[in-house]
Amino acid sequence: MSALDVTDVAAAQGATPSSRAAAEAEAVMPQSVPPVPPATQAAHARLDGLMARGAAFLGSRFAIMGGAMSWISERNLVAALSNAGAFGVIACGAMEPDRLAEEIAATQALTSRPFGVNLITMHPRLDALVDVCLAARVGHIVFAGGIPPTTAIRKAKDGGAKVVCFAPALALAKKLVRSGADALVIEGSEAGGHIGPVSLNVLAQEILPTMAAEVPVFVAGGIGRGEALLSYLEMGAAGAQIGTRFVCATESIAHARFKQAFIRGAARDALPTVQLDARFPVIPVRALQNEGTKRFLEHQAEVIRRHRAGELDKDAAQLDIEHYWAGALRRAVIEGDVENGSLMAGQSVGMVTKEAPVAAILAELMDQAAAVLAARAA
């Protein structure tokens, strides 16, 4: 009912001008929000306390880093995460410096909140990429995909950025902190994309008791609900890095068919790639199974057969296997080829049940964690 409709009805009933004005105001006012129970408020305050160190390090409302997912973690999703109170991270991947500078500028046009950039340490122009981040005053640089050179860490820190590094083992965690890492991410094998051999459950028990007192440690891999987030916070984690849950965010540019594959997928569907011959190592990549993954096994077998037949030397055979997935992620994410492309996904994909705004996903995670705290208090 419009304000005009309300006025007409009030006049017909002999209402006074003041009562008509009240009726008009009530008609256009939003419905009142029920008050938040004190127990729920206290639970959220307790949760804020557990995330305080990580949130302060990131400069965000919540101690949640967005996972850097190639082709997905670009300006739109990154800005949406930061605007909603989390901490978005641009996935640089194979971008050249000029392209990264463009993406950073585009993200800054969409948010005034802090965000970071994830750089792959194997990139041949790593130093130039660090320079791009520093020139754009990016506050946090995340080094991934290997042990970052100490020179790159030092350049980032000297330029005023905070450095975050991935630590797949306690010994490496200690080494990275000695090299200058300001924070660590420990990512378990439950994660999507390139993975290590150890689960987050084990890494957390190994690393958090020793390293959490030294630097903020963010957990990653398989986190899809707030209860899991809470358990790691209470173990000493400063926060979490979450990727898979945000693939189907409304703000994500992933193709509709890619999102539908995630919504239909179950945890058991997200499996690591298989290596057929130890002489031809394959870096494990966790993804939803499709025709492409089946053909990858066939491709490996054929390349190995050709090597044994003397048609390919070992280096050429290894390169052939590694190049199989070239461009496959883009084909799936951007073009929607979910049969032949790469559907990189963590095992938390089973908890992705619908498309929703980033803010709604974050609110759900926080409410789930707070509900546990409230139940304990009760």
Pairing of strands 239-242, 270-272: unpaired
Note the pLDDT of residue 321. 85
Whether the per-residue pLDDT at 3 is higher than 90: the answer is no
Sequence ranges of the domains in the chain? 38-254+353-377, 266-344
Mean pLDDT of 151-167: 98
**Fold designation for 38-254+353-377:** TIM Barrel (3.20.20)
Whether the per-residue pLDDT at 57 is higher than 50: the answer is yes
Whether the per-residue pLDDT at 75 is higher than 60: the answer is yes
Query: 307 in helix, strand or coil?
Result: helix
Distance in angstroms (rounded) separating the CA atoms of residues 331 and 320 = 19
- For 308-335, what is each residue's pLDDT tens digit? 999 989 888 888 887 788 789 999 999 9
Q: Tally Cβ neighbours within 10 Å of residue 329.
A: 22
Note the pLDDT of residue 4. 35
Torsion from C-alpha of 175, 179, 182, 185, nearest 10 degrees: -40
| Average pLDDT taken over every residue of the chain | 91
State percent of the chain over pLDDT 70: 91
| Residue 326 dihedral angles phi and psi, to the nearest 5° | -55, 125
- For 216-273, what is each residue's pLDDT tens digit? 999 999 999 999 999 999 999 999 999 999 999 999 999 999 999 999 999 999 999 9
Question: Which tokens belong to 235?
Answer: 């173990």
Note the pLDDT of residue 264. 98
Q: How confident is the model at residue 120 (pLDDT cuts 50, 70, 90)?
A: very high
pTM for the full predicted model = 0.88
**Cβ-count burial 77-100 (b if 16+ within 10 Å, e if not):** bbbbbbbbbbbbbbbbbebebeeb
Q: Of the candidates 241, 230, 203, 183, which has an alpha carbon nearest to the alpha carbon of residue 50?
A: 230
- For 18-52, what is each residue's pLDDT tens digit? 344 344 444 444 566 678 888 899 999 999 999 99
Instruction: Give strand ranges (E) for the chain.
Output: 64-66, 89-91, 116-120, 140-144, 162-166, 183-187, 193-194, 217-220, 239-242, 270-272, 285-288
